[in-house]
Structure 1
Amino acid sequence: MPFSDTDFRERFQWHGFDAYLAYEQLYEIGLIDEDQLLPLEQYYDLLEDEETIDVLNTLGLPTKNITPKGILKISNTPATNPEFQLTLRNENGEVLKQIANVQMPFVFINSEKFVLPKDVWLLHEAILSSDFSTGYEKTAKVSEYARKANIELDDFLTRENYHYIDKYEVVPELHNSDLMELKIVGEDEIITEHLNSSGGVSSIRKGMTRERYQSSPEVKADLELIHKKKYLRGHEIPQFFENPYSLFPEHNFVFDLEKFSDRVTGFIEIKKPRMMQKEGKWGWFDNETGESLDVDEDELKTVISKNPDKNFVPYKNSWIYVDKALRKQLGLVDDSGSEKQPKLVLDILDNEEKLDYIEAGNEKRKFKEYDIPTQLKADLFDHQKEGYSWICSLEENGVGGLLADDMGLGKTIQVITFLLRQRQRNSLKPSLIVLPIALIENWVNEISKFAPELKNSIYVHQGGGRIKNVSKLENFELIFTSYDTLKIDQLLFGQIHFKNIIADEAQNVKSHSSQRSRAIRAMKGDFRLAMTGTPVENSLEELWTIMDFVQPGAMSALSEFRRKYIKSENYDELMELLKPYYLRRTKDEVLKDKLPAKHLLPPKYVQASTVQQQLAHSMMVNVKSGKANVLNVLTNLRQMYAHPGIFEHVNEHLSINDAPKLKEVLSLLEDIKKKNEKVLIFTEFRKIHAILKREIALKFGISVPVIDGDTKNRPEVVDRFNKTAGFAVILLSPKAAGVGLTITSANHVIHYTRWWNPAVENQATDRAYRIGQQKEVFVYQIITQDPRNFPRGTVEEIMHEMLSVKSDLANNVIIPFDTSTLQQQVAEAFSKQN
């Protein structure tokens, strides 16, 4: 485990403390296992990454390769219990174990240390392993690794040449328009013949030698399934290309089935006709490519009518995908319910071109107050009581809702209170909570803390061992799963009628055409609630998509929604339409007298160092000569002004004066330390995280945790930081830390580099400025000026100016913020001065 605060402060000035900081960095991103070990598989991955190889060097771990020669000998026969002896030698033929300290996979020779190639280590592990079903399998695996590692084989293994087959390809071959064969192909003709034989074991004699082939257990299991469905006929052919898993459900193949479709692009044509309007004219177009299609409606209706149970029908030398939307457009009514959906992908009436599916709630619904369940272990604020009663009112009237409270107002506790009430009313089982995987642990912790009565009702549906039985799932009261797992298991969940479906951080289903969105909109439920403080990030279509989950039909069809609200920007009328289903409160509205003040301080300006000026000049020379793209250079400049040490060729020669922004932050932290308070520092650049972590830790003698997209144990990192006494600093990525974290132990927020969207910055700040904050919050921005290169402003100055102008827009979560346009505007303003 990482050092306690006391241990850290006692030891940070010790020689070699950099090594501990490197260990802490690996721990925070989840590479250190529960036994405080770095798995060797992860170690070899780190060796391939330029950014992390520095971490290994700092830890004093070997990073230089040594490529040995060697010989592998076998005793006993493969049929019994084969034993192997591996002898490794250096370039001079000397046995490594005699001249070096070999601790596999590391080799220590005098003061030098090396790491053996990964294939040599895997060979060594295979020799020691007992996880083989037969001696033949072990011999084949060991022999295969030896060949990959260029290790010489003894006479027996040379004569009896074992091959371990753990990969294959599948090549679809179309014999005619109605028959396709799935051919199993290996690396050569002999392996192909072996793969197509039964039993997974075969041999061929060649003179004095014999070639023996052994398939891995995984390959054998794959091939047994594929051979059962080796020939596809009729509509199965396009179904295979559209969704190969529908023909091979619930099996994890060694070979990625999705690659079939990529491999055979153009091999078979699948059209998805839609009647739509383009450039003022109505006609038939492909729904995915937009290509104009030659469709005779009567002819197509006849073909589909002759195949009422088929998802694919042949039409004019291609296959037509027949979904409910196409049947509707052709006037074909299917009341029989006999239409089959492609397995694992649920088709829906998507309400996009036409309003095909409406769920009407009680038009006479009234809001009323509801008693707080006595089992709740929390005192709710007034706005939380109101939100809880609002949710209960919606549910009792059969209406869905969008809870869009500002970040930090306690959306989760309002919903937990509602779930407790549902438990009292026997209206909880089964309920589905869908959310980003990173938030599942946070929800479980909140329930354990505030509603312990529900703790034993939770089932987390994640990972390879998740339940695949509908009747078992229906017996759980609370099922937590991620959006991606719901997408994968949509056929399973689609068979369950849920009492309640809750979508947290519902902006994850903002794209109406995504499988995430279509999957959650396909679920059956009595009550649906979406939770998000940012229902619109880029386009109003995102709001429509969320609402089509919440209350299908309430926002009309997407085509109509675009015309009435997106093109016209008629936001006032849209808010009136949304009002019955929408609740949003801001901190300014409900916590004005309950939260301490938040101070957005004037930006602190620093002057670029000589090193930064030289680097900036070089970058602009490349822009003017056409060697570099302006947008790419803007990103590089933002990082370089953050710290020039991101460039390896200058890193060794830098002093604190070469990084004025860092110098300013360290000075700022000195003042905050005197107050014994805590700080959040936001930047999206990982290299800057590493630099800041090292510099702050070594100056102040404190552990500096990092939360970015790689951090697997976010709640643990935050909990440890919150419990740290006195002065402390944590580094965060604004996007990775923008949701699901409460860090009210800090009351200073430094935006070390700016983010393109002020709403994202506000969410980041709200990690600290939320319910539970006891101190005034101070928000800092540090901006670099470089008048020598950029007299009209650096990229940081221009970003700050434009973001300040647009900050009011960011507070309205319904009006979309156009990040890409802002980036282009910054690039144009930046280019005008050069």
Structure 2
Amino acid sequence: MFFLRRKTKTLEMRKSLDEEMISFDLYLLDGKSEEKLTLPLGKEQISDFYKLPNFQQYMAWESLYESDLLHEGKLPYSVYYNLLKSEGEMDDNEAVNEFKLILQQLHLPVDSRPVTGELTMESMIGDASLSLELNTTDGANLNRKATGKGAVYELDKILYLLPEKVYELKQAIKSQYEDPYQKIGICQKLAQEANLNCDSFLSRENYKVIDQYDVNVKVHSPDHIELEVNGEDEVETQFLNHSGNKASVRDGEKRTRYVKTNDVKEDIEKIASKRHITGEEVPLFFDNPYAVLPEHEYQIDLAKFSDRVKGLVEIKKLSPLVSTNGNREWFVDTDTDKEPLDEDELRKLLTDHPDKSYVKHNDKWFFIPPSVRKEIMGETATNDKSSNSYSLDIKDNQDELDYKVEVNKQAKFDEYPIPKNLHATLFPHQEEGYHWLCGLLEHNRGGLLADDMGLGKTIQVITYLLYLDKLEKLKPSLVVLPIALLQNWRAEIEKFAPDLINSVYIHNGSGRSKSSEFIKNQAITITTYDTLKIDQLLFGEVPFEAVICDEAQNIKSHSSQRSHALRAMQANFRLAMTGTPVENSLEDLWSIMDFVQPGYLGSLKDFRQTYVKTVATEQLLEKIRLHYLRRTKKEVLEGKIPKKHDDLIETVEASRKQKELSRVMVQSMTKKDTLPVLSQLRQLYGHPSAVTKEEPTQVLATIKDSPKMEKLISYLDHIKSKNEKALIFTTFRQHNFLIKQLVMEKYGIPAAIIDGATSNRQEIVDMFNRSSGFGILILSVRAAGVGLNITSANHVIHFSRWWNPAVENQATDRAYRIGQEKEVYVYQIITKDQENFPNGTVEEIMHDILQDKKELADNVIIPFDMNALKRELLEKMREKQSVNE
């Protein structure tokens, strides 16, 4: 008897290597026939294909697509290299590159292969025709034997990745430049950086492209200063001050050719026209250097700024210096002297300001590049090219009260008519909040709207904006927020106040306006905290009617440039919005209030004595009552929205593989590296491959290695049976991708991820909310814990815990908020390990501590010290381990 073999359908992801990117095409193969599929797959196609061989390749492509890393479905090589250098979003500053696993699933190389080669000049200098010959280290000529384009080539049916500098050199050879010298100089430099040879001509000729310069101020007398343009050495300085665009300097048989970029040439011509500054222009220059230096298209007149602005402050950049005795100092190098900073002193500054890029020391501001922080704190340094810059210097009220806006202490508020063009019906507490905002305006006070998450702070403020518009007091107004909320705010205005939508200008990205006059003529400008920081000199000139900041905890650090920039703004009305005005210290609240009502809480020094040292929270609440409004869900929504079940906590026993790995981790643990090991243990309990970095495989096939994921599946099976939706919150990005793969393998449905790399999060949420039936969304606690309304889901699963229960509550409130029509279920999964940790795993102890702190998290004025919690966790782990031993 003969049996016919049944044809097996399969998927195949094919790659095309272009000069600048990799193209992907997905095919459905059925015997000898094949069908090209349109990417991305639709929901029904995923349901049909998720069990077919090679579906993991599609999931990997979709992960890149959803992270907005592809250009029209293609992967640019520039993005490719960045992904290989990317650090995952970790809670303990550890680096993990989950993107390497995604690229491996697409069968792309993740390590560059060393090559040798030579750059050759093929023409006269004026034509700048160059060629590049490349060879493998074992002698294979890639120009003849390899196929492929751009950064990836194929040799003997294996794909290899070129070193990044080699790829940049290939691109530079094909590119057009302002001048042949520039092209030769850039290619020559890239060849040297890539450790490639240059032919005999290029070895004798050194081409140097001058694309940056320094300006020093030489003081001849109190009323005469001179601007000097300097290069890296004396010859370069002479060339920069020469009117020509090119120069040639011979040294024996070798010659160096110099060429300026057009931008540098134009800058130097402008500086030369004002080289000597005399008389009363001298103090004006020191107050306003940008009026002369060609750093910006606009000029600065400090009289146009807030009374709080007292001048410009230069942000110094640190550089290393090795002294003759071998010790290292860090200093700010000027033309006349060096300002040294002892390394121990610098380390103390970094320890005292762990989250700061700018620190003040001896009345000077220092910029601490990430590379310096890493090097000083014992990590690997990276190159950093940040240069000195200027920012607005304000009366900061830090050591003494030097700026105050007087307060109208009248407390009675009237009722104000709800604008008729509001497209919504307000809840009673929202009406109250609207009346409160209008009353603040009437009494000339700033406000802190601190309502619980999910009570509709945004709609209250949008209603208030309509009121301002009616009074003709809206233009110009400024709304400052995290970048993730840009589109959300615009969508909310379009939904609830469509009459205002054409008056909204979003100031973000490279194409944003450089004109303060333009900003003055916009009714509502929406920007981000970081853009405000960058463009503070532009915004500072605008006399805003209202400045409103959402998620105001972003300015909790009084010494940060974000906080300084926001407090430097001119405004008739100031409003801060945040459900968490205090996260780590009562000083967070002082910083926010010093924006809301400058000087009202006194100087920071006095505030520390009065409130911080004594933890006088009740007295502080009474003090800010005139400016502060907070309502909780329990107060205003009891019985008005469905119930929340937040006690669904289950424990699972670690798998055999997890126990074996945890035993090895603990044995290798030293006192110094305890915290990173505890972080690795938390990743391990999610899934072993999160720490082993094993080759990608089907997660479903390894589910027995992760009891936590088995429990997750049991929850999801139950949710699927009810045809409802779930939000899964994680701490580690590697878990995100593993859960996504698990969901698609098990259920055949798309599972989008929202984390720090997601730029289109509102679009993803809108699509998720619109889709019907069973659905799953995977989110990072930190990146997606604020600003999203996801009431289509009524199940929230915290796959791994975050250090602050208040932050977890914010995440849960993405679903448990106004608009939720179903009861909400909140799940926790805790891993135990009786063999290695009979007295409690890191997850068990962390859970117990967080449960003890839960009530504390509900009181947003009482500080919650995450670093103290981490120390407590370490102490308890050591105690219990010693008991076990």
Q: TM-score, normalized by length of structure 2? A: 0.78
The alpha-carbon deviation at position 527 of structure 1 amounts to: 1.2
Matched, 1:7 2:45: yes
Matched, 1:137 2:182: yes
The residue that corresponds to 1:586 in the other structure is 632
- Whether the 8 Å CA contact 2:449–2:630 is kept in 1: the answer is yes
1:79-158 maps to which residues of 2 (within 5 A)? Answer: 79=126, 81-88=127-134, 96-130=142-176, 132-149=177-194
Shift in CA distance, 46/566, structure 1 to aligned 2, threshold 3 Å: closer
Between the aligned partners of 1:258 and 1:233, the Cα distance in structure 2 is: 26
The residue that corresponds to 2:75 in the other structure is 38
**AA partner of residue 371 (structure 1):** P
Superimposed CA distance per residue, residues 290-321 of structure 1 (whole angstroms, 9 cap, x where no aligned partner) = 88x9xxxxxxxxxxxxxxxxx99xxxxxxxxx
Shift in CA distance, 555/66, structure 1 to aligned 2, threshold 3 Å: closer
The residue that corresponds to 2:352 in the other structure is none
- Give the one of 666, 680, 683 matched to 2:727: 680
The residue that corresponds to 1:213 in the other structure is 258
The alpha-carbon deviation at position 475 of structure 1 amounts to: 0.9
The alpha-carbon deviation at position 530 of structure 1 amounts to: 0.9
The residue that corresponds to 1:554 in the other structure is 600
Matched, 1:648 2:685: no
1:288-687 maps to which residues of 2 (within 5 A)? Answer: 344-623=390-669, 626=670, 628-648=672-692, 655-687=702-734
Shift in CA distance, 780/242, structure 1 to aligned 2, threshold 3 Å: farther
Shift in CA distance, 77/500, structure 1 to aligned 2, threshold 3 Å: same
The residue that corresponds to 1:23 in the other structure is 61
Between the aligned partners of 2:839 and 2:138, the Cα distance in structure 1 is: 64
Between the aligned partners of 2:196 and 2:158, the Cα distance in structure 1 is: 24
Superimposed CA distance per residue, residues 6-37 of structure 1 (whole angstroms, 9 cap, x where no aligned partner) = 2221222222121222122222332213x222
Worse overlay, 566-575 or 536-545: 566-575
Worse overlay, 434-443 or 555-564: 555-564
The residue that corresponds to 2:806 in the other structure is 759
SS of the aligned residue for 2:648 comes to coil
SS of the aligned residue for 1:705 comes to strand
% identity of equivalent residues: 46
Between the aligned partners of 1:269 and 1:150, the Cα distance in structure 2 is: 36
Shift in CA distance, 363/752, structure 1 to aligned 2, threshold 3 Å: same
Between the aligned partners of 2:463 and 2:588, the Cα distance in structure 1 is: 28
Between the aligned partners of 2:552 and 2:103, the Cα distance in structure 1 is: 39
The alpha-carbon deviation at position 366 of structure 1 amounts to: 2.3
**AA partner of residue 68 (structure 2):** G
Between the aligned partners of 2:532 and 2:812, the Cα distance in structure 1 is: 31
**AA partner of residue 710 (structure 2):** K
Between the aligned partners of 2:238 and 2:606, the Cα distance in structure 1 is: 58
Equivalences, count: 761
The residue that corresponds to 2:773 in the other structure is 726
The residue that corresponds to 2:332 in the other structure is 265
Between the aligned partners of 2:786 and 2:142, the Cα distance in structure 1 is: 53
Shift in CA distance, 231/51, structure 1 to aligned 2, threshold 3 Å: farther
Worse overlay, 69-78 or 787-796: 69-78
The alpha-carbon deviation at position 363 of structure 1 amounts to: 3.2
The residue that corresponds to 2:344 in the other structure is none
The residue that corresponds to 1:165 in the other structure is 209
The alpha-carbon deviation at position 763 of structure 1 amounts to: 0.3
Matched, 1:821 2:859: no
SS of the aligned residue for 1:464 comes to coil
SS of the aligned residue for 1:833 comes to helix
Shift in CA distance, 650/13, structure 1 to aligned 2, threshold 3 Å: closer
The alpha-carbon deviation at position 819 of structure 1 amounts to: 1.8
**AA partner of residue 747 (structure 1):** N
The residue that corresponds to 2:746 in the other structure is 699
Shift in CA distance, 677/663, structure 1 to aligned 2, threshold 3 Å: same
The residue that corresponds to 2:244 in the other structure is 199
- Whether the 8 Å CA contact 1:183–1:230 is kept in 2: the answer is no
Superimposed CA distance per residue, residues 70-115 of structure 1 (whole angstroms, 9 cap, x where no aligned partner) = 5555566443x55445554556876545433232332223421222
Between the aligned partners of 2:229 and 2:396, the Cα distance in structure 1 is: 37
- Give the one of 677, 689, 709 matched to 2:736: 689
Q: Which runs of 5+ in 2 are unaligned?
A: 1-38, 87-96, 298-313, 321-330, 342-357, 366-387
SS of the aligned residue for 2:845 comes to helix
- Whether the 8 Å CA contact 2:182–2:209 is kept in 1: the answer is no
Between the aligned partners of 1:726 and 1:704, the Cα distance in structure 2 is: 13
Shift in CA distance, 737/91, structure 1 to aligned 2, threshold 3 Å: closer
SS of the aligned residue for 2:173 comes to helix
- Whether the 8 Å CA contact 2:271–2:292 is kept in 1: the answer is no
Shift in CA distance, 571/70, structure 1 to aligned 2, threshold 3 Å: closer
The alpha-carbon deviation at position 176 of structure 1 amounts to: 10
Shift in CA distance, 217/412, structure 1 to aligned 2, threshold 3 Å: same
The alpha-carbon deviation at position 476 of structure 1 amounts to: 0.9
**AA partner of residue 40 (structure 1):** Y
SS of the aligned residue for 2:819 comes to coil
Between the aligned partners of 1:356 and 1:158, the Cα distance in structure 2 is: 62
Between the aligned partners of 2:862 and 2:136, the Cα distance in structure 1 is: 68
SS of the aligned residue for 2:440 comes to helix
The residue that corresponds to 1:788 in the other structure is 835
Shift in CA distance, 378/155, structure 1 to aligned 2, threshold 3 Å: same
Q: Which has the higher strand share?
A: 2
SS of the aligned residue for 2:751 comes to coil
- Whether the 8 Å CA contact 1:756–1:819 is kept in 2: the answer is yes
The alpha-carbon deviation at position 371 of structure 1 amounts to: 1.8
- Whether the 8 Å CA contact 2:84–2:110 is kept in 1: the answer is yes
